[in-house]
Amino acid sequence: MTEYLSIAPEVSVALAAGQPVVALESTIIAQGMPWPDNAETAMAVADAVRDAGATPATVAVIDGRLRVGLEAREIEMLARGGSQIRKCSRRDLPLAVAAGAHGATTVAATMIVANLAGIKVFATGGIGGVHRGAQQSMDVSADLQELARTSVAVVCAGAKAILDLRLTLEYLETYGVPVIGYGTDVLPAFYVRDSGLGLDAHFDTPAEVAAVLQAKWSLGLAGGVVIANPVPEAYALDPDWIEQLTAQALSEAAADGIGGNDATPYLLRRVAELSNGKSLRSNVELVLNNARLGAAVASALSGLEPCG
């Protein structure tokens, strides 16, 4: 793998010493937020991980290499590149590597690269899932299959509110992916703390979460775990209002023929516009919240016996 994988010295030292490391994705930089909010958020999230006692490892494809840990100038390059940067999920990684291209990694691709590097905890905003109308479109995020196969825990504010959350939970259940709430019994819906959908389990400490991860992987049960962490209450948005904005954004996307890889970035951007930036602020705060929890879980996990 050394032909394709580069781990930053800071991350490599931490991994070799058994210290906590938290993977971070890069689509949130290139496609998830506008400039300069994207660069500022990426740096703030890395700082939040450090402040919480772990080493941040932002993942991306740079010049055709799978990179684990980015420099500030590389984060800025991805942020300024925006939608011109290739969005990389599982299917796209070999294409970007072979082309020597830059790529921003989705949840799925970040899980793959984190696993190759030996990182067990990953913090992000929200996972992808089953899109509304998937019965006709078959639009289901590759994130869900990656959670079924790749042994990395994902700390998130649930699934993105633009999705069909009930079907997303059903899909994860079918493929044996535990979805556990941190301080909650219900699935958060990104900007919203309570989707009304119950979860498999509820834990209140990082140590309890780490014990679940150790048990799962020590039993030889491959695959990820979703750690659902609600957006801080001060930054949560009204569910009915967000649903109205989401419905409008979905209608506009359909009218404009926007789908596939372009759908999620378009919907997040349009909801941010319709909410006068309130959803963007909520997005930033929930990512920071997840970064802090990711660091705490990684720290608790590093204190346990190694698992598979």
Q: Which active-site residues does the annotation give?
A: 25, 160
Distances (CA, A) of 150 to 120, 136, 145, 204, 217: 10, 28, 9, 25, 11
| Cis peptide leading into residue 36 (ω within 30°) | yes
Q: DSSP readout, 5-22? A: EEE-HHHHHHHHTT--EE
Query: φ and ψ at 177, to 5 degrees?
Result: -95, 115
Q: Where are the beta strands (DSSP E) in the chain?
A: 5-7, 21-24, 55-62, 65-68, 86-88, 103-105, 121-123, 153-156, 179-182, 201-203, 225-228
d(CA 94, CA 61): 10
